[in-house]
Each structure stands twice: as structure tokens, then as C-alpha cells.
Amino acid sequence: MKTFANVFLGLFILRTVTAPPPSDPVNYDTDTYEVDLEELSSFYDYDGNQGEIDQGEVEIGTVLPVVNRPIISPEQIPEEAEEEEESTPKLIDGSSPQEPLSPGVLIPETSGGVSTCILCTCMGTTVYCDDHNLDTVPPLPKTTTHVYLRFNRITKINKNDFSHLIKLQKIDLTSNIIAEIDEDAFRSLPLLNELILRDNRLRQLPELPNTMSVIDLSHNRLGRKGLKQEAFKDMNDLHLLYLTDNNLDHIPIPLPDSLQALHLQDNNIQEMHEDTFCNMKDYTYARRALEDIRLDGNPINLSKTPQAFICLPRIPVGRLV
Ligand SMILES: *[C@@H]1O[C@H](CO)[C@@H](O)[C@H](O)[C@H]1NC(C)=O
């Protein structure tokens, strides 16, 4: 059984690797599905947990996930999210010799999240739990490094949902209905660097660790008080900050020099200052990394602050007349 599974997975990985690169402009996902072969060999060895779970059942559950159904009707997802979904591995493609397990076959929760790998799909230390009608975050194996919970119905993130997952690097909660996140839900995750919360109902961003590199909060309800003062200041590795389509009325300064892209289109930003990006006291200062600033769709006239862009490699996109 294990050999079959490995061969099958090998084929799947090969297919994923040889597939053409996704044309998705939101490309922070491209390295997500590279599964290290070494990781694969330890595919079934979650904590050596044998307990009450029959190893055979775990393997079947892992290899035959419950994803053999239509993804989501197109009108439910915005265009970009739909494109991104295409890069999600299609795991079985109808080649399965058996019926997929139904959620009713679930083994009782006895093993710290390993049983989630029967309902969802675990590959190496990545857990895929997209489109499973979940309304809360399921228990996750404590070795989890990447978790995908897209296209579910999660309403709230509680402080204990992720807090014990000290290896966690990426959380993707795209397209849920999250309106609230406990203040300490993410703050003490020592390795977290990507947090994707696009397409939710979030009004307030909780504190994040300074290890963040990618933050996507596009299409939410963040308003004047949605971001803390100086929320991003000490994130010295922050590269992408996407805040498209919220209700923000200011640019969340100060921004770290590492930042490469700042998307603020479709907000309510009316003004900026000459020091927002540059330093009026030091004309030699250059913010070389920040090549991509989007301010279109805001009631702001960029021509009013011509000095505000002198340290940037490119002028922001927005109204210039
Ligand atoms: C934008 O600002 C410039 C410079 O102050 C001004 O000449 C122009 O009329 C403004 N445009 C609008 C639409 O307010």
C-alpha cells in the first residue's frame, strides 16, 4: 500500500512540477506546492502516532481525499481568487479505484490533529483543507508548516486555533466569512511569514509577529481603526502588503524598507504627506525596493505632493491630474 501511495504521489508531484507556471498575477503562491522529496518520504510518519488509528486507514484517507467534487460556483469567487484556485493540485482526477471517504468515516479526534488528514489532505507538513464547509479551524498536526483553509465558512479565529503550531509558516484563509480574530491568535507564532486573509469580513487586524513577509488583507472591511498604529513598522522582512478594497482612510506608515509592493487601491485615502515614503530631511535616502504602489480608486490627487515620490524607483499608480 505504501509503495502504491508513493508511486502515485510521485506521479502527482511530477505532474505538478511539469505543469506550466500559473499566470496568476498574485504570484506569492508559486512556491507553495513544491513538495520536498525528503518530506514525502516521511509522509506517513506524523509523530509516529499509531495509537488507535489503523495505519492502513490513515494511508487510504491521505491518498484519497474528499476533494472529488466541483470546486465552487464561479459567482461565489472573485476573478483573482478563481485563477489562484487553478494552481491548487487536483489530487485524484477520477483515477481513484475506490469511492472517496465521506466525512462520516472520520476517526475520533485522539491524535492531536492527525485525524484531520483523513478529512483533509496532508502532504509532507502541508495541510490542504480547501472547500470543506468548515465553520471553524480543524485541529491540525503539530508539525504543520503550511495550512490552506480556503473557500470554507469559518467565521472566527480563536486564540487556540493555531497557537500551538510552532512550525507554522503560512496560513491561507482566503474566501471565508471571518469577521473576528482573537488578539493573540497569531502573535506568538515564531516562524509565521505569510498570512492570507483576502475575501473575508475582517474589521480589525490582530497583532502579527515581526517575521511576516507577505500579508494579504484585500477585500475586507478594515476601516480607520482596523490597523494598529505602526502595525508594520518592525517587520523587517515584509515584502508584500496587500490592502486592496477596504475602507482605509490613511496609508499605514511607517513602512519597512524591505517592502516591494503596497496595494491600496479601492480604499478611501484622501491625502498623503511628503514623508509618507521618502525623507524630506535626507534627500539622499532612496527606497529602492518599493516598485509597486497602487493608489488608484482612492479620492487622492497625487499631483498635489510631487515631492512625495522622489526617493521611489517608480511613481505610484493613481490619479495624477
Ligand atoms: C490635482 O492637483 C493639481 C496640483 O495641485 C491641480 O492642478 C489639479 O487641478 C488637481 N486635480 C483635481 C482633479 O483636483
| Alpha carbon of 318 to ligand 1 centroid (Å) | 13
d(CA 208, CA 232): 9
Q: Which helix (H) or strand (E) holds 294?
A: strand 292-294
pLDDT tens for the chain, 321 residues long, are: 444 444 444 444 445 444 444 444 444 544 444 444 344 433 333 333 333 333 333 333 343 344 444 444 444 444 444 334 334 443 433 333 333 343 433 344 445 677 889 989 999 999 999 999 999 999 999 999 999 999 999 999 999 999 999 999 999 999 999 999 999 999 999 999 999 999 999 999 999 999 999 999 999 999 999 999 999 999 999 999 999 999 999 999 999 999 999 999 999 999 999 999 999 999 999 999 999 999 999 999 999 998 999 999 999 999 887
pTM to 2 decimals?
0.69
**C-beta of residue 217 within 8 angstroms of C-beta of residue 243:** yes
The best mutation among 271, 296, 304, 319 to test binding of ligand 1, ranked by most ligand atoms within 8 Å of the C-beta, falls on 304
Indicate the DSSP class of residue 39. H
| Alpha carbon of 271 to ligand 1 centroid (Å) | 12
Coil, strand or helix at 201: coil
CB atoms within 10 A of CB 101: 16
Return the residue whose CA atom lies nearest to atom 10 of ligand 1: 321
| Alpha carbon of 275 to ligand 1 centroid (Å) | 20
Over the stretch 243-266, which tens digit does the pLDDT of each residue have?
A: 999 999 999 999 999 999 999 999
Residue with cell string 472520520: 106
d(CA 296, CA 243): 12
User: Where on the phi/psi map is residue 195: left (φ > 0), alpha (ψ -120 to 50), or beta?
Assistant: beta
| Alpha carbon of 302 to ligand 1 centroid (Å) | 8
Nearest ligand 1 atom to alpha carbon 320: 1
Q: Which helix (H) or strand (E) holds 38?
A: helix 37-41
Q: Residues lining ligand 1, judged by CB closer than 6 Å?
A: 301, 303-304, 321
| Alpha carbon of 245 to ligand 1 centroid (Å) | 24
